Structure 1
Amino acid sequence: MAEHVLAGLSTCEISDALIKLGVTHGGYMPGLNRLSPSRDSEDVLSGPALTVQMVPSSDPNAPKLDQHFVDLAQKDTIMVIAAPLHLKNAVWGGLMTAGAQARGVLGVVISGRCRDLTEHRAAGFPVFARGLSTLGQSTFTRPSSVGDGIDIEGPSENTFVRVETGDWIVGDINGVVCVSQDLIEAVGAVARKGKAADERCMKELLEGAGVRATLKKWRQ
């Protein structure tokens, strides 16, 4: 299972592996930082994605859900929400966390904003987001799909990280990455090789070896 293949790997190690495998954005979704349970927590959020697309409430063409999107949550998944970046309202609040926790959701990753931060922290619920807002969701945005592929702004201009339901999400103190299902095994193997090389580099650097020579020896 993916949780075993990628266990113990940091988001940095996973991104390095993805780049070596030809994924130019490294799976990295910039600007998504841990807000709960604390900003400096060293816990790792890891699990399969369940995607949610938000659209402006005024959008007359996007599909409308007949249920609240949290009611469609699945146990042992990470809800990944794509919200319109030009809108500054929250798309996740304390009531959403309560409903998600009751359904066994592992955490939420939001390309957008959340609110009620003290409630998420009190619940110990992992939340990664672009930032905070005092504004609620329904006046400004609404969910248009759950489970369909979404695009998250990537690390360079005009790049996007495609997230499909079932792709593997890892979030830690460095940020959030997405690994597509078809690359999980390869990423695990390449990342572990890179991790071992970096451990050798660290050992030699602490012993006084030159940085350039050490990197050339172990990382090329």
Structure 2
Amino acid sequence: MNATSARLAEFATSELSDALDELGIAGVLPGLSAQRVGQGRIVGRAMPVKLLPKSKDPAAYRFGGGVGKPLEQVLQTMQTGDVVVMDLQGANYASAWGGLASRLAQRRGVAGTIMWGTCRDIDEIRQVGYPVWAVGVCPRRSRNEFTFGSINETITISGVSISREDWIVADESGVVCVPDAQVEKVIELATRIAEQEGELLQMVMSNNVTSWDEL
């Protein structure tokens, strides 16, 4: 973990979201949930991936279980510290990430996977303790419904632009993308917000809330 990721890891996604809002930056990826209770917080550089809807593409097909050919390209590209962010347009009818992919990513030192779509093999994912965020779970494989789109090219999810150099922070409240160009400003604002919330907490715990504007 480098200095920037370590600093980002100090903040909850709610605090980072507030900082992004203050800067007028869309950074929250809505509708994504941690797939394991107690999953903790991850931070890393985004590895954006896009799969495209295409039924029964021979270039994507592989017999049986395991990983489809589009996912194989992702698994060959991911690096230590990456957060894989896969755009399947929020599809809930087929899953492009499962147990084998999670095991390989874990062995490669990948920080976690964000699925703008569903995952499968959830019991196996939880057993190995690999962090996955997704819109839900579906046992159906994806290779008959999706084909390869792009890796490490900018993607857009719910109005949030995600590029290779951007930072992903995820915890059990959700997922945020912090643009690399704004990361210092976001950290500065998040620090102020965290300090403010600490003081507000003391006011609440001492039954001494007189005005939210005092801070």
TM bin, normalised by shorter chain, reads: 0.7 to 0.9
Residue 20 (structure 1) aligned with residue 22 (structure 2)? yes
What is the DSSP-based 3-state SS (H/G/I as helix, E as strand, rest coil) of the residue aligned with 2:90?
coil
Aligned partner of 2:42 in structure 1 is 45
Task: Determine the C-alpha separation between the residues in 2 that align with 1:136 and 1:66.
Answer: 11
The gaps in structure 1 that reach 5 residues or longer are: 154-159
Check whether the contact 1:90–1:114 (CA below 8 A) recurs between aligned residues: yes
* Pairwise CA distance, 1:167: 0.7
Task: Determine the C-alpha separation between the residues in 1 that align with 2:155 and 2:168.
Answer: 13
Aligned partner of 1:29 in structure 2 is 29
Q: Compute the TM-score of the two structures, normalised by the length of structure 1.
A: 0.86
Aligned partner of 1:176 in structure 2 is 175
In structure 2, what residue type is equivalent to 1:133?
C
* Pairwise CA distance, 1:98: 2.1
In structure 2, what residue type is equivalent to 1:52?
V
In structure 2, what residue type is equivalent to 1:108?
T
* Pairwise CA distance, 1:57: 2.4
Task: Determine the C-alpha separation between the residues in 2 that align with 1:66 and 1:115.
Answer: 14
Task: Determine the C-alpha separation between the residues in 2 that align with 1:66 and 1:120.
Answer: 16
- Number of residues paired by the alignment? 202
* Pairwise CA distance, 1:142: 2.2
Aligned partner of 2:202 in structure 1 is 203
What is the DSSP-based 3-state SS (H/G/I as helix, E as strand, rest coil) of the residue aligned with 2:147?
strand
Task: Determine the C-alpha separation between the residues in 2 that align with 1:55 and 1:7.
Answer: 32
In structure 1, what residue type is equivalent to 2:46?
A
In structure 1, what residue type is equivalent to 2:207?
G
* Pairwise CA distance, 1:85: 2.8
Task: Determine the C-alpha separation between the residues in 2 that align with 1:208 and 1:67.
Answer: 56
* Pairwise CA distance, 1:72: 1.2
Report the CA distance shift for 1:183/1:122 in structure 2 as closer, same or farther (over 3 A): same
Q: Deviations over 1:148-206 (max 9, x none)?
A: 001111xxxxxx10000121101111100000001111100100101101111110121
In structure 2, what residue type is equivalent to 1:19?
D
What is the DSSP-based 3-state SS (H/G/I as helix, E as strand, rest coil) of the residue aligned with 1:83?
strand
> Which consecutive segments of 4 or more residues in structure 1 shift more than 4 A?
64-67
Q: Compute the TM-score of the two structures, normalised by the length of structure 2.
A: 0.88
Check whether the contact 1:115–1:134 (CA below 8 A) recurs between aligned residues: yes
Q: Deviations over 1:79-132 (max 9, x none)?
A: 000003355211111121122223221110011000000111111100000000
Q: CA RMSD in A?
A: 2.0
Determine which of 102, 106, 122 is the counterpart of 1:101. Answer: 106
Question: What is the 5 A alignment of 1:1-220?
Answer: 1-23=3-25, 25=26, 27-35=27-35, 38=36, 40-41=37-38, 43-58=40-55, 68-86=73-91, 88-153=93-158, 160-210=159-209, 213-218=210-215
Task: Determine the C-alpha separation between the residues in 2 that align with 1:95 and 1:175.
Answer: 24
Task: Determine the C-alpha separation between the residues in 1 that align with 2:56 and 2:91.
Answer: 14
Task: Determine the C-alpha separation between the residues in 1 that align with 2:183 and 2:30.
Answer: 21
Instruction: Report percent identity of matched pairs.
Output: 30
* Pairwise CA distance, 1:70: 1.1
Task: Determine the C-alpha separation between the residues in 1 that align with 2:211 and 2:97.
Answer: 46
In structure 2, what residue type is equivalent to 1:214?
S
In structure 2, what residue type is equivalent to 1:80?
V
